[in-house]
Structure formats: structure tokens, C-alpha cells
Homo-oligomer: A and B are copies of this chain.
């Protein structure tokens, strides 16, 4: 069923005509009278509609979007080379990320700034919108950038579960971090067991092609990030954030 993000829902029982990009998209889909489509407010609500004629829809009553995860997971990635950011953004939105934040780090080869960054962010936001529509999300995750690694750490560390995945860490895993969080929340030692816990806020941070420097890892630890392994296999920089996101979503019962 086609989905269109709109600024505001029409009142129930009234007509609404698709405009702009939505109209273009609808023309490609060749909507037929009587067909069901969904308008989304981008805030987690869906409005089921029926095509009246052409681009005009008849609105039903809004309902909560069933595809929005309860957990709010921010995905923090160091600027990667080439079009890898596009890949990560598209897939992370499908997998339920709440937002994507790009940051510079010591070993980043790509460090877009100014006009170049602005253009990239516009393009990335369009990719996020399109992935949100396609995967039936109820919100369009924001894609943004911060200016420094320090700023990234300060903000990412505010989450209840602030994780940085590091290829040279081997002892401490996401299982440990989740168990610690479960213990903090319940006062008991084993609350992260088989059952999904109530949705926490999560930050997942991964490096660029060259990974993080030892100094950067120490800064992250000092800022409050949990330094975790993603297992003994070395993941590419575009694979790691998606693997981390999937594992967290699974652990929290969102998959």
C-alpha cells in the first residue's frame, strides 16, 4: 500500500489532494479510484485514505503507525568514503533508526563541510524519506551532522544505552551492555534476559574505514560511552552500524 508523508492530516471524511513530490510519486504508481493508500504525518500517526479520483483522496480516521519502534535508537557514523553513507542511511531507516548523525573522526578520509555538506545532507534526507515510505515507517528519521568528534561524544553519551563499537575490543559485548542497563533499571543483576525490556534510548557509534584511534576510544570511555565488540569478525564500516542496529532492535524485541 502506497504511503505519503504530509504536513497535516485532512479531517476525517474530507477530501485531500496530493501535491508536489507526493503527486509525482502517485502518478508513477497510477493510483486507481477505490484503492487504499496511507497518509503519514511523520510524527508516528497514519491516516488511512481511499482514492476518490486522480490525485484526490477521501480521508479516514488517524491511527498510530504500527511500524514505529518503541526504542529510540540514534545511529552515529563517522563520515565514510564515497556513497557508503547513502547505503547506511537507507538501510538504517528500514531497520528502525530514530535518526542518523554523521561526525568527523581522526581517520576519516571524507570530511564534507560548508556547501558540500549541505548538499549531501539534503540528498541523505531524501534517501531517508524514501526509505521511510518504502519500509512503512511512521516518522522520517532526521539526518544531520555535528562538527567535531567531541560534540558527537557529548550528545551520544546522553542516551541510556550509549554504545561505541570498536574492532579492538574483545571482552565487553552488547550483551554485557544490555545486561548492565537491565540491572540499572530493575535493581537486579539479570533483567536483560530473554524478555525484551521496556524501550530505552540508545546511541550506536561506529567508525570510518580506518576505525578509531586509541586516543579517541579513551575520550569516548571518559565521556561515558560503553566500548563494545561486534564479534571477532572484522566488519566493514558500512556493515558495522547496521549489524549493531539490528542486534539492538532484536534484543529490545523490535524485530
Interface residues of A (CB under 8 A from B): 66-67, 69, 91, 94-96, 134-137, 173-175, 179, 190, 192-194, 196, 230-236, 239, 242-243, 246-247, 249-251, 253-255
Nearest B residue to A247 via CB reads B250
B residues within 8 A CB of A193?
Answer: 193-194
Please give, as numbers and ranges, the residues of chain B lying within 8 Å of A91 by CB-CB distance. Answer: 236, 239
| Residue pair A231, B96 in contact (C-beta under 8 Å) | yes
Contacts A179-B194, A194-B194 given: A67-B232 contact, CB under 8 Å? yes
List B contacts of A254 (CB < 8 A). 231
B175 in contact with A233 (CB, 8 Å): no
Q: List 23 A-B contacts (CB under 8 A).
A: A66-B232, A67-B231, A67-B233, A91-B239, A94-B235, A94-B236, A95-B239, A134-B236, A135-B233, A135-B234, A136-B232, A136-B234, A173-B255, A174-B250, A174-B255, A175-B253, A190-B194, A193-B194, A242-B243, A243-B246, A246-B246, A247-B255, A250-B250
